[in-house]
Amino acid sequence: MSLLTGEPRSATITAASHSIAYEIRKEHLSELLAARPELAEEISRVVAGRVLRNKEKLESTPIEEVDAEKRTVAGQIMGKMKAFFGF
């Protein structure tokens, strides 16, 4: 989320085994999203689903409400992405 919206990171990961990590920076994504804006929309929908899952809303909420909430959260994320990347 931090990479996509500029918000402070909310998680830390620890590798369970030897790993190779790549750093993806704002400027890397900015060029890609400028060329393919539909990717930003898809990413915002995927992230919205994960945000809702993390809030455990998906388990006890009717599917119609989940879809509506997902669209709302995706719209909020997309707005933050547009502001952060300037598109």
Region class of 39: left (phi > 0), else alpha (psi between -120 and 50), else beta: alpha
Is the pLDDT at 54 greater than 80? The verdict is: no
Q: Find the mean pLDDT for residues 48-66.
A: 74
Confidence band (pLDDT; 50, 70, 90) for 58? Answer: low
Please tell me the predicted confidence (pLDDT) of residue 69. 82
As a residue count, the chain comes to 87
Any idea what DSSP says for residue 7? P
Query: Does the pTM of the predicted model rise above 0.85?
Result: no
Tell me the C-alpha distance between 69 and 48, whole Å: 9
- pLDDT tens digits for 74-84? 899 889 888 98
67 token code pair: 């879809």
Mean per-residue pLDDT for 58-82?
82
